[in-house]
Amino acid sequence: MEIKDIFVRPIDRSLEGVIKADALDDATVKQELDEYVVTDELKKHFAKFFHAYADSIGKDTEKMGVWISGFFGSGKSHFLKILSYLLENREIDGRHAVDFFDADRKISDPMVIANIHRSESIPTDVILFNIDAKSSKQQGEDSLLDVFIRVFNEMRGYCGALPYVAELERKLDEKLAPIRADITILKEQVLSLTDRMGRVEADIEDIRKQQERTSKIIENQLIPNIQLLAENYVPAARRYQESEQKQTAMENDIKLLKIVVADHSAKLCELAK
């Protein structure tokens, strides 16, 4: 047995040495959540942060910011990025961010876990960026507010480099909002109509199949029976009709004969007198 065999995970696996704010692909996020080690000191920071965050839900507060400080390489960026996953309620491979801490027992305090769940239940948009990377190199220095406005506009899909263009895009969006709403309603109506047409086509197909079955029944059963009736019953009926006519004629002759006999008998009786 080698030393590496006593570890649960392969010690030669690839790990990122530096946490990057813009590295947000699923594989990176999953590795960062899975590999994150919650020390006793971090447990205190998680408890303090989510207690304050959950306590502010549903009420007004002026405590709008959190300052994270520490020495270089102490894990500030990593901690901040993990917080962003938890607040955003990021989902990876069917697991939410909090599951990596709750199910994996990285945080065992039920109160902290409850506060995390309460915090993630609030819809949250996360903007994660590196200020140095977003600052303009041509101007030399940008105010912190300018960087925030640039990143905020980019997050909303507007122009980040030119604030006045972003404002123009925002106003254009406001004017187009009713049109987009009408288009959405129209799309829903078209989908509903398409669904109805689909049901009508299905009904037509059922009717066509029923017609085919009916045609086969007529062809295979009804027509042969009619032919059999025509071949057997009709001649028999005609023969019966002819025999009935002959019998009626015979009965009429017999009646006539009876009348004649009766008449001749009466005449013979008179002659005999």
In whole angstroms, give the CA distance from residue 64 to residue 50: 13
* pLDDT for the residue 139: 55
Q: Roughly what angle, to the nearest 10 degrees, separates helices 40-55 and 110-120? A: 50
Q: What residues contact residue 96 under an 8 Å CB cut-off, 6+ apart?
A: 89, 90, 120
Sign of CA dihedral 183, 189, 192, 197: negative
Q: What is the pLDDT of residues 106-128, one digit of tens each?
A: 898 999 999 999 998 888 888 88
- Unique residue bearing structure tokens 């023969």: 239
pTM above 0.75, yes or no: no
In whole angstroms, give the CA distance from residue 227 to residue 233: 10
Would you say 128 and 28 are in contact if contact means Cβ atoms under 8 Å apart? Answer: no
**Helix, strand, coil share (%) of the chain residues, nearest 5:** 65, 0, 30
Q: DSSP E strands: which ranges in the chain?
A: 91-92, 95-96
Q: What is the mean pLDDT of the chain?
A: 83
Q: Which residues are 96's β-sheet partners?
A: 91
* pLDDT for the residue 136: 66
Q: Quick one: pLDDT band at residue 261, thresholds 50, 70, 90?
A: low
Q: pLDDT over 70 for what percent of the chain?
A: 90
* pLDDT for the residue 271: 66
Q: What is the pLDDT of residues 139-185, one digit of tens each?
A: 555 577 888 888 888 888 888 888 888 888 888 888 888 888 888 88
Q: Quick one: pLDDT band at residue 253, thresholds 50, 70, 90?
A: low
> How far is C-alpha 55 from the chain's CA centre?
35
Residue bearing the bigger pLDDT, 235 or 59 = 59
